[in-house]
Amino acid sequence: MSADLDALARSILKDNDLGGYTIPTKGLYPYQWNWDSIFVALGFATFDQDRALEEIESLFEGQWDDGMVPHILFRKDDPSYFPGPDAWGTSDRAMPSSGHSQPPVAATVVREIFESAGEGKLEARVRALFPKMMAWHRWFATYRDPQGHGSVAIIHPWESGRDNLPDWDAPMSAVDTTGIPAFTRKDTAHVDPEMRPRQIDYERYMAIVAAGRACGWNARKVTQASPFLVADPGITFILLRANRDLAALARRLGFDADLPEIEGWIAKLERGLERLWNPELGAHTTLDLKTGKLGQGVSSVAFLAPYAGVRDEAVLAPLRAHFDRIAGRVDYMVPSYDPDHQGFEHLRYWRGPVWAVVNFMIARGLTQAGDHTRAERVRADTARLVKHSGFAEYFSPVDGTGAGGKSFSWTAAVWLAWASPNPSQRAA
Ligand code: GLC
């Protein structure tokens, strides 16, 4: 059966490939998404390394002059999605796109593909990608740490990649929606509205887009003007990890002159994590930079601490306790939000469902920190979900129901790269 699933996963990637770039799924997400594409590259790498790198190269075609790599590239207009290029006010750009970024997983994945490709292969192409990844990481260091703490702030929930996490509710309630132009959502025509963000969330999402647009998406101005500015442990962990992988690439490829800058970013992010530690909870949480308030729930990204290289028992021991408590509450690990928290909803997007790509990163970190038992629990649960419900966008941690879009590229990709029991395709 898993061989059939491997074949199906490959056919999903090929089917969602629009020619050098891959969409997350037809209908709901008809454009190129940032971290989706990078995870997709991992899936392609299991059977076509050239195509894998092409996916990443195509994403960087949309990089802005300031270094930012947008969260969506609108390569050709598709009316099945809202908000498209007109709503972002970027239609006149050579490559219309959204105006903010997404979690930077590229350096980690590029390193992995490069190292598994074997001596010398892909080197020229990875060398060409290196300065682009440097510029993107520099953009985060320059524009997404406005208070200089070392943690990464997002200006829109979409920038975190976890659109409607309960921890965004409090900061989002301060976003004024007065005067935003009327709009028609398209997502709820593709997917059951109960599995999607609410209407009020969308109104606030669009109010933040309007604020960014009014600044012409000038990164410095946007950070000052956005009605939403929250430090995110997810993106902070992911960037910290990506910086370590970028440093490894720099050493391997001879970009030694860039090492001090990268090492400076690493040291700063390590310090920044301390501010995101919620001592009452025993986990890293969000921090609203406008009010100074920490988030109140254990979200799945708290378990990315080992992935980011954290080896401090004062962090890892409470995390293990949370993991075991939550594992006793749900059938499938790892829910995107704590099932013991009132904000938990098992089928609503990032308020509870399991996401295969987050599981992949969590398990990767656990393995590297030596916790093979919990890592294997996460992998086995991800495999059970796919066997139970196919390559869905996300899954209920309670009963394994597949939810959101179907034939989803990144779910297929991490199946191939990691969750499939076929050992030749295991990356972790
Ligand atoms: C949703 C997810 C985001 C993902 C995108 C495309 O917006 O929250 O993480 O990148 O869909 O799959």
Q: Please name the residues in contact with 254: beta carbons below 8 A apart, sequence gap of 6 or more.
A: none
Nearest-atom index, ligand 1, CA of 29: 6
**How would residue 178 be classed by pLDDT, with cut points 50, 70 and 90?**
very high
**How would residue 181 be classed by pLDDT, with cut points 50, 70 and 90?**
confident
Nearest-atom index, ligand 1, CA of 24: 12
Q: How do residues 72-108 score in pLDDT, each as one tens digit?
A: 999 988 989 999 999 999 999 999 999 999 999 999 9
The domain in which residue 253 lies consists of 2-425
CATH of the domain at 270: 1.50.10.10
Residue nearest to atom 9 of ligand 1 (CA): 161
**What spacing in Å lies between the alpha carbon of 342 and ligand 1's midpoint?**
24
Task: Give dist(CA 143, CA 88) in Å, integer.
Answer: 19
The pLDDT, as a whole number, for residue 428 is: 46
Q: Which of 163, 187, 232, 245 is catalytic?
A: 163
For the chain, how many structural domains are there in total?
1
The pLDDT, as a whole number, for residue 422 is: 80
> What is the mean predicted confidence (pLDDT) over 121-139?
97
DSSP class per residue in 177-215: -TTPPP---SHHHHS-GGGS--HHHHHHHHHHHHHHHHT
Q: Is-catalytic flag, 393?
A: yes
Nearest-atom index, ligand 1, CA of 410: 12
**How would residue 426 be classed by pLDDT, with cut points 50, 70 and 90?**
low
The pLDDT, as a whole number, for residue 170 is: 97
Instruction: Identify the burial level of 362 via C-beta atoms within 10 angstroms of its C-beta, where 0-12 means exposed, 13-18 middle and 19 or more buried.
Output: buried
**What spacing in Å lies between the alpha carbon of 275 and ligand 1's midpoint?**
27
**Res 9 pLDDT > 80:** yes
> What is the mean predicted confidence (pLDDT) over 212-241?
97
Which structure tokens are listed for 172? 């989002």
> What is the mean predicted confidence (pLDDT) over 107-124?
93
Q: Which of 159, 201, 288, 393 is catalytic?
A: 393
Task: Give dist(CA 166, CA 248) in Å, integer.
Answer: 35
The pLDDT, as a whole number, for residue 423 is: 61
- Output the ligand 1 site: residues, CB below 6 A: 24, 29, 33, 35-36, 161, 163
CA distances from 31 to 53, 79, 89, 285 (A): 18, 11, 16, 30
Strand segments (E) across 16-140 = 32-33, 72-73
11-20, 193-202, 209-218, 419-428: least confident range: 419-428
| Mean pLDDT, rounded, of the chain | 96
**How would residue 195 be classed by pLDDT, with cut points 50, 70 and 90?**
confident
Q: How do residues 263-322 score in pLDDT, each as one tens digit?
A: 999 999 999 999 999 999 999 999 999 999 999 999 999 999 999 999 999 999 999 999
β-strands 72-73, 277-278 pairing:
unpaired
Residue nearest to atom 3 of ligand 1 (CA): 161
Q: How do residues 340-395 score in pLDDT, each as one tens digit?
A: 999 999 999 999 999 999 999 999 999 999 999 999 999 999 999 999 999 999 99
